[in-house]
Copies of this chain bind each other. A is one copy, B any other.
Amino acid sequence: MPSSADFLQYIDQHSQKFIDRLAEAVAIPSVSADAAYRADVIKMSGWLDNQLKGLGVETRLADLGTHVMDGQELPLPPVILGKIGNDPKKKTVLVYGHYDVQPTLRTFQAEKSDGWDTDPFVLTIDEKSGRMYGRGATDDKGPVLGWLNVLEAHQALGLELPVNIRFCFEGMEETDSDPLDRLIQSEVAKGSDNWFAGVDCVCISDNYWLNTRTPCLTYGLRGIIGFKVTISGPTRDLHSGGFGRMVHEPMTDLIYLMGKLVTPDGRILIPGVEEMVAPPDAEERELYEKLDYTIQDVEEAVGAPITISNDKATVLMGRMRMPSLSLHGIEGAFSGPGGKTVIPSTVSGKFSLRLVPPQTPETIEKLVVPYLEQEFAKLNSKNKIKIESMGGGKPWAADYKHWNYEAAIRATKAIYNRSPDLTREGGSIPVTLSFSESLGVNVLLLPMGRGDDGAHSTNEKLDRSNFIEGTKLLGTYLYEIAAIAT
C-alpha cells in the first residue's frame, strides 16, 4: 500500500501554499529560552492548535503550570495533544515535534556581520539554491508543518488516513523538556485509558541527515553525564610571587586530575568505562564503512583536518557507538586575555561523558568518583577535593529491524530512490528516551533537514526540496506502516 499518486501530486501542486504557511509559522518568534518572547511561544501554540483543528484533529492543550525564568514566574507553553483517527484495525502512530525555537540575535538590521544575513523571523528564500532561511525553518517548524501538509492533502482529496495519528507538540524543547516528561509520566500512570494508550510506535522528526546528500534514519542517541571537580586550597586568591612554591596550588592538582581522564585520540582512561562497551564485530564495522559520510565531511564540518583517525569507520564509531569524554573548562581560574600572576584559590574543572548502551549516568558516576578520589590521593596534596555529578541522561538505541524502521526505509526508497543511511547520533534528544521508556514502543527518528541546516546557528535554513519531499516522505511512511503492520 504505497501512498497514492494523488497524494504526491497534491503536495507538489500546493508547495507554494505550504511554504507560505511555513513563513507564517516562522514569523512568530517563539523563542522559549527568553522571557521576553514567552507571549510569542504561547501565540504559536494557539496558531498551531487552530491549524490542527482546521484539519480535523481533535486537540487538547495540556497546561503545564508555571516556571521561573530570569527571576520571573512565567506560564509554561502548553503541550498540544492531538488525535485523528480511531480505527482499531489501524496502527496508531504518535508524532512528536516542537513549536518553540532557539534564541537568535535580531541584529540583521544593525550590523549584519554580527548575526543573520536576513531577518531570522522572515522566511527568506534563495530561489537559486532553494534554501529557505529562518529561525525554526528546520528546527522544528518545517517538520511539524510537514505533518500539517500531509493532513491537508488528505482532507482536500477526501482520502482516508492509513493510520490513526496522535500528535504531541511541545513548546519548551529548546529550553527544558522536563515539564513534558512529567506530563508523559503522569498520563501513563493513569493506566489503560491514558492519552497515549494504544500508541503502536513513535515518529520524531527533530534531527538531520548526516550530510547534504543522503536521507537517514536514526536509531540511537548517546546519553550524557557531566561532572564538576572542585579543588580548594587557600581562602582567597594568592599572588604567585608571594606564595608560589610555598603552598599546594589548586590549579596544579586540578590540571593533573583533568589530565588523567582521556587521551588525545579519545580513549577514556577511567578504568571500566571503555570495558562496558563491546567492540564492534565485522558486520557492525561494515555498517559504518558504508555510511555516506567521509573523513572529508568531518573536516569540512569542523574546519580543520583533526579527526582522531584516518580510518572512517573509527571516526564514525567514535561519535555513534563509543563513549566520549570532553574537557569543557575551568571555573574560578584566570580566563581573561593577557596575563595575571594569580594562584586561584578554588577551581572547578568541568567535563562530561557521552554514554552508549549499556552505560548509564549511575554506572558511570560509580566509576568516575572513586577514580578521581584515588588519583587525588596519589598527589599527597593538602588541598580539598569535591566531586559533583551535574546530572545526565541515559543513552538510547532502538531496534532498527522493527516494522517502524522498515516502513521508513521503504518510504525513503519510494521518495528518494535510495536506501537511507542507518545512523546513531552523538548527542541527546531526551524526549526520545521518555517515549521509549514510558510507552514501551519503538521510536524512530526520521529527519527532514540536512546536516548543514545550522539548526542552532545563525542563518538556519531548510531546503525547499527537503520540505516538499520530506512531506511526501512523512505521508508515505504512514502508508508503509499500514502496508507492513496490518
The interface of chain A, by Cβ under 8 A from chain B, is 222, 224, 226, 228, 233-236, 238-249, 251-253, 255-256, 258-259, 262-266, 298, 301-308, 315-316, 318-319, 322-331, 333-344, 350, 352, 354, 379-383, 390, 425-428, 456
Would you call B244 and A390 a contact (CB within 8 A)?
no
Would you call A340 and B350 a contact (CB within 8 A)?
yes
Would you call A339 and B251 a contact (CB within 8 A)?
no
Residues of B within 8 A of A326 (CB): 240, 244, 249, 251-252, 341-343
Would you call B241 and A304 a contact (CB within 8 A)?
no
Given contacts A259-B255, A333-B330, A390-B339, contact A308 B247 (CB under 8 A): yes
A263 to B354, CA, bound (A): 30
A456 to B334, CA, bound (A): 18
Would you call A331 and B341 a contact (CB within 8 A)?
no
A428 to B240, CA, bound (A): 10
Given contacts A235-B303, A303-B235, A305-B382, contact A344 B324 (CB under 8 A): no
Partner of A244, one of B265, B337, B343, B354: B354
Could you show 15 A-B contacts with beta carbons less than 8 Å apart?
A: A233-B302, A234-B306, A235-B302, A244-B354, A245-B324, A246-B302, A252-B262, A255-B255, A265-B380, A330-B330, A331-B335, A331-B337, A334-B350, A335-B335, A340-B350
Would you call B308 and A245 a contact (CB within 8 A)?
yes
Would you call B235 and A383 a contact (CB within 8 A)?
no
A247: shortest Cβ distance to chain B, in Å? 5
A380 to B380, CA, bound (A): 31
Would you call B248 and A306 a contact (CB within 8 A)?
yes
Would you call B426 and A243 a contact (CB within 8 A)?
yes
Q: Considering only CB atoms, which chain B residue lies closest to A226 in the complex?
A: B339
Given contacts A262-B252, A302-B243, A427-B239, contact A344 B315 (CB under 8 A): no
Given contacts A245-B266, A328-B333, contact A303 B251 (CB under 8 A): no
Would you call B340 and A382 a contact (CB within 8 A)?
no
Would you call B330 and A244 a contact (CB within 8 A)?
no
Would you call A319 and B381 a contact (CB within 8 A)?
no
Q: Considering only CB atoms, which chain B residue lies closest to A260 in the complex?
A: B259
Would you call B339 and A334 a contact (CB within 8 A)?
no
Given contacts A239-B427, A243-B319, A298-B246, contact A303 B256 (CB under 8 A): no
Partner of A302, one of B247, B266, B340: B247
Would you call B264 and A252 a contact (CB within 8 A)?
yes
Would you call B251 and A382 a contact (CB within 8 A)?
no
Would you call A228 and B339 a contact (CB within 8 A)?
yes
Given contacts A234-B303, A242-B319, A328-B343, 15 further A-B contacts (CB under 8 A): A240-B328, A241-B354, A241-B425, A245-B354, A246-B308, A247-B298, A249-B264, A253-B264, A255-B259, A306-B381, A307-B382, A327-B333, A328-B344, A330-B335, A331-B335
Q: Considering only CB atoms, which chain B residue lies closest to A240 in the complex?
A: B326
Given contacts A262-B252, A307-B246, A307-B382, contact A226 B341 (CB under 8 A): yes
A320: shortest Cβ distance to chain B, in Å? 9
A456 to B379, CA, bound (A): 32
Q: Considering only CB atoms, which chain B residue lies closest to A456 in the complex?
A: B239
Q: Considering only CB atoms, which chain B residue lies closest to A334 in the complex?
A: B329
Q: Considering only CB atoms, which chain B residue lies closest to A379 in the complex?
A: B264
Residues of B within 8 A of A379 (CB): 264
A354 to B425, CA, bound (A): 48
A243 to B307, CA, bound (A): 10
Residues of B within 8 A of A233 (CB): 302, 304, 306
A263 to B265, CA, bound (A): 25
A381 to B323, CA, bound (A): 20
Would you call A328 and B342 a contact (CB within 8 A)?
yes
A224 to B340, CA, bound (A): 12
Partner of A308, one of B234, B248, B336: B248
Would you call B259 and A256 a contact (CB within 8 A)?
yes
Residues of B within 8 A of A247 (CB): 298, 302, 306-308
Given contacts A307-B382, A328-B339, A336-B331, contact A315 B246 (CB under 8 A): yes
A32: shortest Cβ distance to chain B, in Å? 18
Report which residue of A238, A255, A330 has the largest number of chain B beta carbons within 10 angstroms of its beta carbon: A255
